[in-house]
């Protein structure tokens, strides 16, 4: 098995750590391995126990390795959470080439110019997401390479994150003996498998209901427009069951996953669930309807919060796409349609073995990594034809160490270089 054809994603969530292995075969991407482990060192999307998080990552990695029979040594890491912020950015430069043909160096410079903004000292630029390039006033250009012009502009989104949160997460990955091949904004990656091109152009909201937080991402005109994280999720449902039935968190999670239902009207009082209370008491039986009376109010609260956030965003013609582990619960889609009153569907990855909403982020990271490597391959062909060594800064790729070192020698630091330098300081 050629390691160059393997992609490994790492999704560190509040309730679960997931590792996914993808392989390119005959031009097709296949998911060949999945590993998961309880996430015991994360709360509210933030690392609170490094050793526990490292142990969870290693457990998930080992499970994925056993499934496929390969050794995992590098991963693509997804980042999200309430510490991530988006802010519009704009860069403008004069085309440097005497013949006025826009080259990779011009794109580098306009990307760097867009980053000349003031950010707090406790935050770091994680990424810059171009929405469009503008050449001499002509906008909606995706890639200006090779075009003729005098002035080059870029409009996009600057992604920043908390230095502390990023450092702790990536320190855990390093302590788990894994190299980081790339870092991606998780909502962007999830959008690759959850949202169609037409939906992104029209305007759509991607709602990822995780363990302790819900991420609401909106796309419009083909680009990420906004990102909001609210501190509610499936773990709140688990806690309600634990309190209501007087059971442990683990038992409440089991009951939720095996017998939970989010929509009372569709439940039955004849479907029973056996529950083991705390203190060694005799098992008790509760109907599916009993459980729904505990679950639906909390899920209703979650969707009402989502509705408030969406109301502040404005019109979303493409509707709402739900994903995340919590939406697997029966009745969730029906309740969402009742409360949100929009065109709503559920995103499920179209790969054997991972056709569940909880795997959307992991699959998205793999597809995102493959997409950018493929773009890089095309760039290399263009670069070779032009006898140039430099590649576009706006392509995030898995480069060889030699290529990375060559980029480090440049005088004008790109965003990825700045991020690598930032993490290098912490890791040394």
How much is the average pLDDT of 175-187? 92
Residue 32 DSSP symbol: E
How much is the average pLDDT of 305-320? 91
Residue 376 has a pLDDT of 53
Does the pLDDT at position 133 exceed 90? yes
Name the token pair of 56: 């969870």
Alpha-helix residue ranges (DSSP H) falling in 215-278: 234-245, 249-259
pTM of the model: 0.82
Rg (CA), the chain: 23
Does the pLDDT at position 394 exceed 50? no
Q: What is the pLDDT of residues 313-358, one digit of tens each?
A: 888 999 999 999 899 999 999 999 999 988 999 999 888 878 889 9
> pLDDT-derived band of residue 39, with 50, 70 and 90 as boundaries?
very high
First to last CA, the chain: 32
Name the token pair of 180: 């980081």
Q: Which of 12-16, 52-56, 263-267 has the lowest mean pLDDT?
A: 12-16
Residue 127 has a pLDDT of 84
How far is it, in rounded angstroms, from Cα 222 to Cα 91? 20
> pLDDT-derived band of residue 419, with 50, 70 and 90 as boundaries?
very low
Q: How many CA atoms lie within 13 A of 311 on its CB side?
A: 9
Residue 313 has a pLDDT of 86
Does the pLDDT at position 386 exceed 90? no
Residue 281 has a pLDDT of 81
How far is it, in rounded angstroms, from Cα 198 to Cα 26? 27
Does the pLDDT at position 417 exceed 60? no
Q: Would the CA dihedral through 427, 52, 78, 204 be positive or negative?
A: negative
> pLDDT-derived band of residue 55, with 50, 70 and 90 as boundaries?
very high
Backbone angles phi, psi at 144, to 5 degrees: -85, 0
DSSP helix/strand/coil, 178: coil
How much is the average pLDDT of 74-103? 92
How much is the average pLDDT of 255-268? 94
Domain 230-346: assigned CATH number: 3.30.420.40
Does the pLDDT at position 389 exceed 50? no
Does the pLDDT at position 397 exceed 70? no
Does the pLDDT at position 395 exceed 60? no
Q: What is the pLDDT of residues 187-199, one digit of tens each?
A: 999 998 899 999 9
Mean of all residue pLDDT scores within the chain: 85
Could you tell me whether strands 151-162 and 85-94 are parallel, antiparallel, or unpaired per DSSP bridges? Answer: antiparallel
Name the token pair of 71: 């050794």
Q: Which residues lie closer than 8 Å to 136 by C-beta, 6 or more apart?
A: 149, 150, 151
How much is the average pLDDT of 61-68? 94
> pLDDT-derived band of residue 375, with 50, 70 and 90 as boundaries?
low
Q: CA-CA distances (angstroms) from residue 213 to 113, 232, 344? A: 34, 5, 20
Alpha-helix residue ranges (DSSP H) falling in 185-319: 186-194, 197-202, 234-245, 249-259, 288-313
DSSP helix/strand/coil, 46: strand
Does the pLDDT at position 123 exceed 50? yes
Does the pLDDT at position 298 exceed 60? yes
Q: What is the pLDDT of residues 28-37, one digit of tens each?
A: 888 999 999 9
Does the pLDDT at position 421 exceed 60? no
Domain positions in the chain: 230-346
Judge whether 12 and 212 are in contact, CB under 8 Å: no
Q: What is the pLDDT of residues 205-246, one digit of tens each?
A: 999 999 889 999 999 988 899 999 999 999 999 999 999 999
How far is it, in rounded angstroms, from Cα 86 to Cα 315? 20
Residue 374 has a pLDDT of 56
């Amino acid at each position: 098995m050629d390691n160059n054809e393997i992609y490994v994603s790492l999704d560190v969530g509040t309730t679960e750590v997931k590792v996914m292995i993808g392989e390119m075969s005959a031009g097709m991407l296949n998911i060949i391995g999945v590993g998961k482990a309880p996430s015991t060192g994360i709360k509210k999307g933030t690392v609170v126990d490094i050793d526990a998080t490292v142990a969870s990552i290693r457990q998930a990695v080992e499970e994925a390795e056993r499934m496929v029979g390969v050794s995992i040594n590098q991963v693509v890491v997804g980042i999200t959470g309430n510490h991530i912020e988006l802010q519009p950015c704009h860069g403008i430069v004069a085309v440097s080439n005497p013949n006025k043909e826009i080259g990779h160096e011009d794109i580098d410079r306009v990307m760097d110019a867009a980053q000349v903004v003031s950010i707090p000292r406790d935050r770091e630029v994680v990424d810059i997401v171009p929405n469009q390039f503008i050449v001499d006033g002509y906008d909606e250009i995706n890639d200006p390479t090779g075009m003729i012009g005098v002035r080059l502009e870029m409009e996009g989104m600057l992604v920043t994150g908390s230095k502390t949160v990023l450092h702790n997460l990536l320190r855990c990955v390093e302590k788990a003996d894994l190299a980081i091949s790339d870092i991606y904004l998780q909502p962007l990656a999830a959008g690759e498998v959850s949202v169609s091109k037409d939906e992104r152009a029209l305007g759509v909201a991607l709602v990822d209901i995780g363990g302790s937080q819900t991420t609401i991402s909106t796309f419009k005109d083909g680009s990420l427009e906004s990102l909001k994280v609210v501190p509610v999720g499936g773990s709140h449902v688990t806690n309600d069951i634990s309190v209501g039935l007087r059971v442990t968190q683990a038992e409440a999670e089991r009951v939720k996953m095996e017998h939970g239902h989010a929509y009372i009207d569709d439940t039955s009082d004849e479907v029973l669930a056996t529950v083991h209370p705390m203190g060694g008491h005799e098992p008790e039986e509760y109907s599916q309807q009993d459980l729904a009376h505990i679950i639906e109010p909390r899920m209703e609260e979650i969707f009402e919060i989502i509705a408030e956030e969406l109301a502040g965003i404005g019109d979303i013609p493409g509707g709402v796409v739900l994903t995340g582990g919590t939406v697997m619960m029966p009745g969730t889609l029906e309740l969402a349609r009742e409360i949100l009153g929009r065109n709503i569907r559920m995103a499920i990855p179209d790969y054997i073995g991972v056709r569940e909403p909880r795997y959307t982020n992991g699959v998205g990271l793999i597809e995102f990594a493959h997409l950018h490597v493929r773009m890089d391959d095309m760039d290399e062909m263009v670069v070779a034809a032009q006898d140039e060594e430099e590649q576009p800064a706006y392509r995030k790729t898995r480069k060889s160490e030699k290529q990375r070192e060559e980029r480090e020698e440049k005088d004008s630091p790109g965003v990825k270089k700045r991020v690598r330098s930032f993490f290098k300081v912490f890791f040394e």
